[in-house]
Amino acid sequence: MRQSATTPKLTIGQAIAGLKGEFPDEDIRQSRLRFLEAEGLIKPERTPSGYRKFSTEDMDRLRYIITMQRQFHLPLKVIQEHLDAMERGLEPPPVYDGPTVPRSDGATTPGAETFRAPPADVRISRKELLKTAEITEDVLDQLETYGLVRMRSGAKHYDSDALQVARAAGELARFGMEPRHLRAFRTAADREIGLVEQVVSPIRRSREDGAAGRANQAMDEIAALSVHLHATLVRAGLRSLR
């Protein structure tokens, strides 16, 4: 929503009051807004006296930031990438939190586009991974043998990607799909990674300012589109079997 010429801009106190009304359980203070400004996520106008004035667009960005933090625990760097994409008229990368698929045993399974990724910097031990993913030692050993799950390089813990793979493998095991059956997913992923690398490498090698940032942004966007394309193709193929 764009700021009209007649829409008054808000002081920082008014902005906080409005946000607290929408997010009553959030700790919203001046220091938090100042921090977001310092990090470049918002850019309120300054009066000649130095007071901040928040436009409708500033408020929309703040609502988006707070929502992404409280619902999905996204780091600010990722939220900034979302905001940058939206500024360029693009759809932000999807955050998976969709409806679940009913199971025959009465429980539910996340749908193809439903898994919500934990924070990227999560550190989880082997014991915690087994418990959270609800898999056995034998299954985890097999996942590691086939290169589907691995510890962080040079560390003795797993990250959010390992957790997501382990959880998905645990769900698929209910249908008789063992880790050895999932090697095809690893092979397909490696091929997609190679394709993305071919696309992104020229951007990264560019001597223009911001080349690394553009390359990273391109990788994020391609990854999101690849996941969406893969899920759509699988659904379309399975629909013909019904």
Return mean pLDDT, the chain: 82
Residue-wise pLDDT tens for the chain (242 aa)? Answer: 444 455 789 999 999 999 999 988 788 999 999 999 998 999 999 999 999 999 999 999 999 999 888 777 777 888 888 898 888 877 776 665 443 444 444 544 444 344 344 444 567 889 988 988 889 999 999 999 999 999 887 778 888 788 889 988 998 988 899 999 999 999 998 999 999 999 989 988 888 877 888 888 788 778 878 877 887 888 888 888 87
Q: Which residues 6+ apart lie within 8 Å of 240 measured at CB?
A: none
| Cα–Cα dist 146/150, whole Å | 10
Report DSSP letters for 187-235, one per residue: HHHHHHHHHHHHHHHHHHH--STTHHHHHHHHHHHHHHHHHHHHHHHHH
SS3 content of the chain, % helix, strand, coil (to 5): 55, 5, 40
Two tokens, residue 230:
């893969």
The pLDDT value given to residue 161 = 83
Asked whether 197 and 167 are in contact (CB, 8 A), the reply is no
Give φ, ψ of 52 to 5 degrees: -80, 140
Residue 65 CB: number of other CB atoms within 10 A?
22
47-52: long-range pairs with CB below 8 Å, 24+: 51/11, 51/12, 52/11, 52/12
Asked whether 132 and 167 are in contact (CB, 8 A), the reply is yes
Two tokens, residue 145:
């043998």
Asked whether 214 and 203 are in contact (CB, 8 A), the reply is yes
Domain boundaries, the chain: 12-74, 100-239
Sign of CA pseudo-dihedral 76, 128, 160, 95: negative
The pLDDT value given to residue 101 = 42
pTM reported for the whole predicted model:
0.50
Please name which of 162, 141, 165 lies closest in space to residue 153, comparing C-alpha atoms.
162
Please name which of 33, 113, 24, 14 lies closest in space to residue 70, comparing C-alpha atoms.
24
Q: How many Å is the Cα radius of gyration of the chain?
A: 22
The DSSP call for residue 179 is G
